[in-house]
Structure 1
Amino acid sequence: MKTVLSYLSPYKWLVITALIFMLIELSVELIQPLIIATIIDDGILARDQQTIIFWGSIMLALSFIAFLAGIINTFIASHAVQSYGYDIRQALFKKIQSFTMTTFLKFPTSSLITRLTTDVTITQNVVFMGLRIMLRAPLLVVGSIIMSFVVHPYLALYLVIGAPFLVVFLYWMSRRGLKLFGKVQRSVDRVTRKIQENLQAVRLIKAYLRGSFESTRFEKVADSLKVDNVTAFRIMELILPVLLFVMNVSLMAVLWFGAKEIQIGNAQMGEVVAIVNYATRMTGAFSMFAFIIIFFSRAKASSERMEEVLLEKEGIEEIDTDSPYSPTGIGEIEFNDVSFHYPTTDVPVLKDVSFIVTPGSKLAIMGATGSGKSTLLNLIPRFFDVTKGEVLINGVDVKEWPLKELRQVIGLVPQQSILFTGSIEENLGWGDSNATEELLREAAKQAQIHNSIEQFPDQYDTRVGQKGVNLSGGQKQRLSIARALVRKPEILLLDDSTSALDVSTENALWGALEDEKATMLVVTQKIRTAKGADQILLLEEGRVSAYGTHDELMESSSLYREIAESQQEGDNYVELHS
């Protein structure tokens, strides 16, 4: 937890102040039994009303001081903890943003969501409890033991008889709890992943009437979480009965031997009452230990999961570095004997791929599903590094280009159109935060979406739902293309980004893009789109099957001819088959 707790450092004075007020509250609680003993022995038994009033007034004043100290402690602790939670959540999110795609694949999305939400909240709660009661409970036990020895050493011995057993027992339970609640958090990850998966696929589930089937699958992961939680809490619930049994035995011993000490004159009534009072406070503090261990075990498990992200050193992108190269005039793209496989497998996705795209030209990339088309595009902005060979931009290996400079000249339109919650104008401006309103509208016109936007009641101020849920597939694709064009990229990567467009809209789009000076790589499954490209790259099982113009491939490639013959002019979308 060291790394996680280090985020409390900026608030150390708030933490220290909160602890001081907690100690004031604790000190009053430890002094009160002594005052009660004095009232009993010197006031009640001696029939001295003035002593009763005097010490009673002091006890009331101290109680009021403890009350104020508790309120101030809670206020300061709350402020420190909320600030701490904000900082650590920001640090986690920033670290995740710095991951390379290879590193990102090490952590399931659902797990990262849980770490940013549930795990942060758990650690926040434990830090708050630490400043409020978690430290107070053990200090109250220790303080009660010390004060008991001050009052009557002989009777105090009976309070500490079970202490060695309790220390060993609590240590063992805390270790056990850490493992159990680590398992619980992993179960939470699985539940989150299942919920996320189902919410994303809700239309498909409804279309196929698979609601009952998915409910059964969810029931299994939810049941696993329930079992893990029940197992953890059942074991943890053993703590309280054991603590109370040991403390009650000690309390009975104090009462038994205390009565004998009073009879033989070795103890006063007030002293026995004070010892009993300290024993009662210890019992109450020990009862908190069960909750403390449960919360601490969960926090320890959560902090280790967060530290796994925060301490990740491999696969971190260095974005903010100066470039020795000029970002202008970039256009030539060369793949030189490139092979690639994903980090999670040894199966190659691309094998010995070589080709050159001249500046300002358009390359269409075709191939069957799984042939490596999208992977090829991902290597250009260095989402992944090649396994073998090199990818060159203007003759320079992309590994030599600082990522900031490289990605500033690339406009990417992914296969799945991703839009963010906000207005259409905000989504377009996401491509370039400094873009003018005129530039946003120009890009929208090029992407053939301007007229559609104008028909919306709020036009460019129209709110886009999560992931563009209130837009059609074609509208989302055209907005994604417009967002990329706003960047005025030197290189434009389109990953099957016109699949939802009709023939006339797509033709108008390509016509509007003819004036763009960008080098374009277009993944497509349409022959009519490929015809308009300067060159066509045909992939088959990760290898280059053919490379050339439409006419050249019709003569030299039987696979390309097969694809062309299977498609009729005017089809919106035909899936390729190898």
Structure 2
Amino acid sequence: MKTVFSYAKPYKWPIFIALCLMLLELSVELIQPLLIAKIIDDGILAEDVSVIWTWGSVMMGLAFVAFFSGVINSYFAAHAAQGFAFDLRQALFRQVQAFSMATFLRFPTAGLITRLTSDVTMAQNILFMGMRILLRAPLLVVGSLVMAFIVNVKLALYLVIGAPFLFVFLFIMARKGVGYFATVQHRLDRVNRVIQENLQAVRLIKAYLRGMYEASRFSKVADMLRKDTVKAMRMMELILPILLFVMNVSLMAVLWFGSFEIRNGDAQVGELVAVVNYAMRMTGAFSMFAWIIVAFSRAKASSERMEEVLLASEDLENHNSESSSLQRLEGDLRFENVSFNYQGKAEPILDKVSFHVSPGEKLAIMGATGSGKSTLLNLIPRIFEATEGKIFVDGLEVKEWPLKDLRDTIGLVPQQSILFTGSILENLSWGDTDAAPDELEEAAKKAQIHESIDLFPQKYGTRVGQKGVNLSGGQKQRLSIARALVRKPSILILDDSTSALDVKTENALWDALEEEAATMLVVTQKVQTARGADCILLLDEGKVVGYGTHAELMEQSELYRKIADSQTEEEVIINGENHS
């Protein structure tokens, strides 16, 4: 918890003021039984009305002091807790942004969402309540015991009898609660994961009529969360009855033996009332302990989960390194015996891949699903690090490039088009926030999406739904390409980014891209697209099985000939159907 609550340090003065006000409020509460005892002994029993009025007025004044202290305390406590939660959530989000892909894949997406939402809220609540109840309750117990001894030592001893048992009991329950609520938070992660998967695949679920199946799957994980939560809460619910039983026994002892003390003249009625009052306050404070332990257990479990993210510093990307004085990249790219495998996996995804692309050339990358095409592309901007071998950009190994310099000159269009909620203009400028409107429009024209945008009522101001839900697959791909072109990249990476385009639009796109002074790497399944490249790299199970022009591969590679022949046959069939 130390790492998480270190983010409360900037708010030390509001926290200090809130704690001082809480102590003032507590002091008033502890003084009141003494004043009640004085009113009873010196006023009511002595039949002195002036004493009753005097000390009664003092009690009213102190009540107002306590009231205003509580109000102001809540203000400062809320300010500190909200600021702490904001800073903590910001730190977690920045840490996730700095993760390398290897580190990111260690954490399920749903788990990261839970850490940034409910876990932060748990920590925020415990900090706020710490300045209101969390510290006040134990201090009230200790303070009541001390004041009871000041009033009458003999009577106070009866209150202490059950104290050792209660402290040991609460310590044990707190430790068990942390474990139980850690399990509950993990169950919550699984529920969030199922919800996330379901919402992302809603179209497929409706198309396959799998709504009832998904409801059943959700019911199972939600039921596991319910059972573990009930198990944790049942254990916590044992706390209050046991606490109240022990305190009520102590209270009965005070009343029983107090009556003898009064009869013998060793105690006054006011003293007994004061000690009973302190006993009642202790009982009330102990009744809050069940809630405190639940809140503390959940906050500790949440803090440990957040610390996993905050302390995951073994593999972070440095985005803040100073840019070098090097000029714009030329785009010369070379792989030398590059291999890659995921951590913990024995089988390599890429195995000794070598090739060279000169500045301004276009390399087409082909291969079956799972052959390592996308992984190869991800090694260039260092989204993943090569396990073996070397990758050079403009003669310098990618590891030696400042990460910002390297990625600033790369335009990446992923296999799955990702658009953000906002306008088309905002999505395009996401590629380069400094780009002028005419530059955005020029990129859209090259990507063959400008005419489609012009048909929208709001044109470039048209809102894009979540993940571009209101756009077609081809429109999303072309917007993604335009966003990459806005960057004016030296290396343009297109990971099967034209699969949803018709032949005419795709040809127009390639013609427009000829004007780009960029080295292009294009993953494609279309021989027609690969034919127009300067060179073709053919992968099979992570190995290079063909490298050359279309004509060279048609002569040298049996696998490439099979791919070309199969696509020629498909074209013949399609053309035949069209003529019929």
**TM-score, normalised with respect to structure 1:** 0.98
The alpha-carbon deviation at position 164 of structure 1 amounts to: 0.7
Q: 1:306-325 to 2 correspondence within 5 Å?
A: 306-324=306-324
**1:199-235 per-position Cα deviation (integer Å, ceiling 9, x unaligned):** 1111111111111111111111111111110110011
Contact 1:194 1:218 in 2 (8 A): yes
**1:501-534 per-position Cα deviation (integer Å, ceiling 9, x unaligned):** 1111111100100000100000011111111111
Aligned residue identity for 2:196:
Q
Q: In structure 1, what is the equivalent of residue 101 of structure 2? A: 101
Q: In structure 1, what is the equivalent of residue 238 of structure 2? A: 238
Q: Aligned equivalents of 2:299 and 2:327: distance in 1?
A: 47
Q: Aligned equivalents of 2:166 and 2:556: distance in 1?
A: 83
**1:133-173 per-position Cα deviation (integer Å, ceiling 9, x unaligned):** 11000000000000000000010001011111111111100
Q: In structure 2, what is the equivalent of residue 270 of structure 1? A: 270
**1:6-55 per-position Cα deviation (integer Å, ceiling 9, x unaligned):** 11111100000001111111011000000000111111111111111111
Contact 1:413 1:481 in 2 (8 A): yes
Contact 1:554 1:561 in 2 (8 A): yes
Q: 1:106-185 to 2 correspondence within 5 Å?
A: 106-185=106-185
Q: In structure 2, what is the equivalent of residue 379 of structure 1? A: 379
Q: Aligned equivalents of 2:198 and 2:126: distance in 1?
A: 32
Q: In structure 2, what is the equivalent of residue 400 of structure 1? A: 400
Q: Does residue 260 of the first structure (1) align with residue 278 of the second (2)?
A: no
**1:368-422 per-position Cα deviation (integer Å, ceiling 9, x unaligned):** 0000000000000001111110111112110111100000110000001001111
**1:274-304 per-position Cα deviation (integer Å, ceiling 9, x unaligned):** 0000000000000000000000000000001
Q: 1:242-391 to 2 correspondence within 5 Å?
A: 242-324=242-324, 326-391=326-391
Contact 2:340 2:387 in 1 (8 A): yes
Q: In structure 2, what is the equivalent of residue 431 of structure 1? A: 431
Aligned residue identity for 1:434:
D
Q: Aligned equivalents of 2:504 and 2:278: distance in 1?
A: 86
The alpha-carbon deviation at position 329 of structure 1 amounts to: 3.6
4+ residue stretches of structure 1 with deviation over 4 A? none
The alpha-carbon deviation at position 323 of structure 1 amounts to: 4.4
Contact 2:336 2:391 in 1 (8 A): yes
Q: Aligned equivalents of 1:344 and 1:437: distance in 2?
A: 47
Q: Aligned equivalents of 2:355 and 2:347: distance in 1?
A: 22
Aligned residue identity for 2:309:
V
Determine what percentage of the aligned residue pairs are the same residue: 68
Q: Aligned equivalents of 2:344 and 2:424: distance in 1?
A: 37
The alpha-carbon deviation at position 344 of structure 1 amounts to: 4.1
Q: In structure 2, what is the equivalent of residue 471 of structure 1? A: 471
Aligned residue identity for 2:431:
G
Aligned residue identity for 2:336:
N
The alpha-carbon deviation at position 312 of structure 1 amounts to: 1.3
Contact 1:323 1:401 in 2 (8 A): no
RMSD, aligned CA: 1.2
Q: In structure 2, what is the equivalent of residue 214 of structure 1? A: 214
The alpha-carbon deviation at position 313 of structure 1 amounts to: 1.5
Moved more, 338-347 or 408-417: 338-347
Q: In structure 2, what is the equivalent of residue 409 of structure 1? A: 409
**1:305-363 per-position Cα deviation (integer Å, ceiling 9, x unaligned):** 11111111111111222344624142111110011001242221001111101110000
Q: Aligned equivalents of 1:308 and 1:48: distance in 2?
A: 66
The alpha-carbon deviation at position 566 of structure 1 amounts to: 1.2
Q: In structure 1, what is the equivalent of residue 548 of structure 2? A: 548
In structure 2, the residue corresponding to 1:106 is in which secondary structure? coil
Q: Aligned equivalents of 1:564 and 1:244: distance in 2?
A: 82
Q: Aligned equivalents of 1:160 and 1:327: distance in 2?
A: 78
Q: Aligned equivalents of 1:109 and 1:44: distance in 2?
A: 68
Q: Does residue 420 of the first structure (1) align with residue 420 of the second (2)?
A: yes
Q: Aligned equivalents of 1:334 and 1:448: distance in 2?
A: 31
In structure 2, the residue corresponding to 1:567 is in which secondary structure? helix
Aligned residue identity for 1:247:
M
Contact 1:327 1:406 in 2 (8 A): no
Q: In structure 1, what is the equivalent of residue 577 of structure 2? A: none
Q: Aligned equivalents of 1:236 and 1:2: distance in 2?
A: 25
Q: Aligned equivalents of 1:373 and 1:206: distance in 2?
A: 32
Contact 1:413 1:495 in 2 (8 A): yes
Q: In structure 1, what is the equivalent of residue 34 of structure 2? A: 34
Contact 1:325 1:401 in 2 (8 A): no
Contact 2:4 2:88 in 1 (8 A): yes
Q: Aligned equivalents of 1:236 and 1:326: distance in 2?
A: 63
Q: In structure 2, what is the equivalent of residue 487 of structure 1? A: 487
Aligned residue identity for 1:451:
E
Q: In structure 1, what is the equivalent of residue 448 of structure 2? A: 448
Q: Aligned equivalents of 2:472 and 2:239: distance in 1?
A: 57
The alpha-carbon deviation at position 567 of structure 1 amounts to: 1.1
Q: In structure 2, what is the equivalent of residue 532 of structure 1? A: 532
Q: Aligned equivalents of 1:184 and 1:329: distance in 2?
A: 51
Aligned residue identity for 2:2:
K
In structure 1, the residue corresponding to 2:433 is in which secondary structure? coil
Aligned residue identity for 1:15:
I
In structure 1, the residue corresponding to 2:27 is in which secondary structure? helix
Aligned residue identity for 1:60:
M
**1:229-259 per-position Cα deviation (integer Å, ceiling 9, x unaligned):** 0110011111111100110000000000000
In structure 2, the residue corresponding to 1:391 is in which secondary structure? strand
Aligned residue identity for 1:217:
R
Contact 1:327 1:405 in 2 (8 A): no
Q: In structure 2, what is the equivalent of residue 20 of structure 1? A: 20
Contact 2:329 2:409 in 1 (8 A): no
Aligned residue identity for 2:493:
L
Q: Aligned equivalents of 1:528 and 1:246: distance in 2?
A: 84
CA change 1:102–1:407 in 2 (3 A) is same
Q: In structure 2, what is the equivalent of residue 76 of structure 1? A: 76
Q: How many residues align?
A: 573
Q: Aligned equivalents of 1:4 and 1:153: distance in 2?
A: 43
Contact 2:414 2:495 in 1 (8 A): yes
Q: In structure 2, what is the equivalent of residue 2 of structure 1? A: 2
Q: Aligned equivalents of 1:470 and 1:332: distance in 2?
A: 38
